[in-house]
Amino acid sequence: MPVPTAPAAPITTAKLSVIEQSKRLAAYTAVDQHILPKHKVIGIGSGSTVPYVVERIVQQGEELNKGRVFVPTGFQSKELIVESKLSLGDVDQFPTIDVTIDGADEVDSELNCIKGGGACHLREKVLAEAAETFVLVADYRKNVQYLGTNFPGVPIEVVPFAYAKVLQNLHHRLGSPNATLRMAKAKAGPVVSDNGNFIIDAPFSLEAMKDPFTLMARIKMLTGVVEVGLFCHMAQAAYFGNQDGSVTVKSRLEGEVIEETISPA
């Protein structure tokens, strides 16, 4: 069997920073390995890595794509799908998705991840859950042993009415004294999600982050919390583009997570 190699760098690579090249490499490799001709309903995630996913899907050609429907996780991916002239669908029409590919803020050694850096994690989790196969794509900085190594907090979507109470509970009952409401950059006031909700970013101790499922369940029990940006036991594979042009792949095989590195082409 031929040894898999990462996709060859496209001509425009020279213009991209190393991090952008790594994102593209991860996205291209994941599409090549997971978006197959038989896949007709495809979930498209959010963030800065996902445009490369769509770019690679478009490269598969009109013939394949005309028989497919693409389901977005929010405003950004909806725009991407429409601009790329792909067919748009929604998860209420397609509650079962063949493959969803999405970015991640961090992925641990068990394929758990933090998501919600772009405040889209409610819809992202619905599309992850709807997918037969859920795949993550990211640059090398997101590949960690434990969640919270580099990414500062767990994104939590809350209904606006409850945010102060949820913050108080996080500070005093759940061990996150530095949890804060995420403020908008080019607007006065808080970030408002695509669902009209607020986002809290809650940092936790490494000890708590070592058991993300328990932490996720405890946060989700707080009244007013809509969704938590901890995705546990959901991804089948994660692709990380590396600085040297290789791609590290973590994948679940018979319950075990295995890691391999694909050399540059």
Ligand X SMILES: O=C(CO)[C@H](O)[C@H](O)COP(=O)(O)O
Nearer to ligand X, 46 or 246 (CB): 46
**Backbone conformation region of residue 13, classed left if phi is above 0, alpha if psi is from -120 to 50, else beta:** alpha
Lookup result for tokens 């390995």 = 33
**Which residue lies nearest ligand X, judged by its C-beta?**
47
Angle, vertex CA 10, rays to CA 4 and CA 14, nearest 5: 120
Closest approach, Cβ 231 to ligand X, in A, equals 9
Which residue in this structure is represented by tokens 């790594």? 22
The single residue among 21, 29, 49, 248 that binds ligand X, judged by CB under 6 A, is: 49
Instruction: Assess contact for 137 and 54: CB atoms under 8 A.
Output: no
- Quick note: the x/- pattern for ligand X over 72-91, rule CB under 6 A, is --------------------
What is the C-alpha separation between 262 and 4, in angstroms, rounded?
6
Task: State yes or no: residue 102 binds ligand X (CB under 6 A).
Answer: yes
Q: Is 119 in the site for ligand X (CB under 6 A)?
A: yes
Closer residue to ligand X, CB minimum distance, 98 or 124: 124
Gap between the Cα atoms of 185 and 165, Å rounded: 24
- Of 51, 72, 89, 117, which lies in the binding site for ligand X, with binding defined by CB under 6 A? 117
Question: Taking CB under 6 A as the criterion, which residues in 124-143 touch ligand X?
Answer: 124
Residues 6+ apart with CB under 8 A from 178: 153, 202, 203
* 50-59 vs 75-83: helix crossing angle, rounded to 10: 20
216 contact partners, CB below 8 Å, separation of at least 6? 228, 230, 232
**What's the closest the beta carbon of residue 24 comes to ligand X, in angstroms?**
11
Which CB sits closer to ligand X, 120 or 179? 120
Rule CB under 6 A: is residue 45 a binding residue for ligand X?
Answer: yes
User: Which residues are the active-site residues?
Assistant: 124
3-state secondary structure of 258: strand
Q: Which stretch binds ligand X (CB under 6 A): 98-106, 166-174, 232-240, 249-257?
A: 98-106
Q: Which residue of 89, 91, 105, 230 would you call a contact of ligand X, by CB under 6 A?
A: 105
Asked if residue 104 binds ligand X (CB under 6 A), the reply is yes
The CB-of-37 to ligand X minimum distance in angstroms stands at: 26
Residues lying near ligand X in the complex (CB under 6 A): 45-49, 102-105, 115-121, 124
